[in-house]
Amino acid sequence: MTAVDEILALINPDTRIIAIDGRSASGKTTLASKLAAETGGTVIHMDDFFLPPEMRTTERLAEKGGNVHYERFMEEVLPFIRGTMTFSYRRFDCSVMDYDGSVTVDPSSLVIVEGAYSLSPRFGKYYDLSLFMTVDEGLQIERIIKRNGYDKAHVFKTKWIPLEESYFSAFSIEENADRIICCQEEDGSIPS
């Protein structure tokens, strides 16, 4: 049984929202895409809530879990995610460091929120099933280099990964997840 099959078996008629948190380059986006394809669900990417440059203060980055625009997620997504009406939220595009369009979400289908900080206690328990994805540190860096290049991998290793690890530890994110999935495949596939 693959990890996708295992998660599909956990989904019941009352499962409306899945949150997938975890380490950088652990396969969160890949898993969310596979689940959405299997279920006809919608994916909300926490990367769309990238913290804008003007909010990247020393104080903000010192907050556990402060490296995401949690206020906007709480304003544009949380009030609507359990509703029955289609809604949209603004998408932040890191490549241009500005908002770039919007994403429409149909909450009548399964909604999968994927990305680091998606299980932040600031959001409460808005999900029905929580997953935490992990990856070996060596493989994590290899995958980040392949995806983002050497220069960005250094920034991940020295800045972003420590911020994530601090958040995971402070709020016991991994320990409190319903399921832990370990990605061990170099090609980004979800292990069996």
In a domain, 113, yes or no: yes
In a domain, 192, yes or no: no
Q: Which of 6-15, 130-139, 145-154 has the lowest mean pLDDT?
A: 145-154
pLDDT at 71: 97
Number of folded domains in the chain?
Answer: 1
pLDDT at 184: 62
In a domain, 190, yes or no: no
**Has residue 191 got a pLDDT over 50?**
no
Q: How confident is the model at residue 46 (pLDDT cuts 50, 70, 90)?
A: very high
Q: Which of 12-16, 17-21, 145-149, 186-190 has the lowest mean pLDDT?
A: 186-190
| Residue 34 CB neighbours (<10 A) | 19
In a domain, 188, yes or no: no
- For 71-90, what is the mean pLDDT? 96
Question: Please, what sign has the CA dihedral across residues 72, 175, 178, 34?
Answer: positive
Q: Residue 56 belongs to a domain with what CATH number?
A: 3.40.50.300
Task: Give the residue among 44, 191, 38 at the shortest CA–CA distance from 115.
Answer: 44
- What domain range includes position 132? 3-183
Residue with tokens 């926490």: 46
pTM assigned to the model: 0.91
- For 34-61, what is the mean pLDDT? 95
Tell me: the pLDDT tens digits for 106-130? 988 899 999 999 999 999 999 999 9
Task: Give the residue among 110, 93, 95 at the shortest CA–CA distance from 35.
Answer: 110
**Has residue 179 got a pLDDT over 80?**
yes
| Residue 55 CB neighbours (<10 A) | 15
Of the two residues 122 and 186, the one the predictor is more confident about is: 122
Contact by Cβ (8 Å): 31, 99: no
Tell me: the pLDDT tens digits for 58-67? 999 999 999 9
First to last CA, the chain: 6
What lies within 8 Å, CB to CB, of 150 at 6+ separation is none
**Has residue 192 got a pLDDT over 80?**
no
Q: Where are the beta strands (DSSP E) in the chain?
A: 17-22, 42-45, 87-93, 98-105, 111-114, 129-135, 179-183
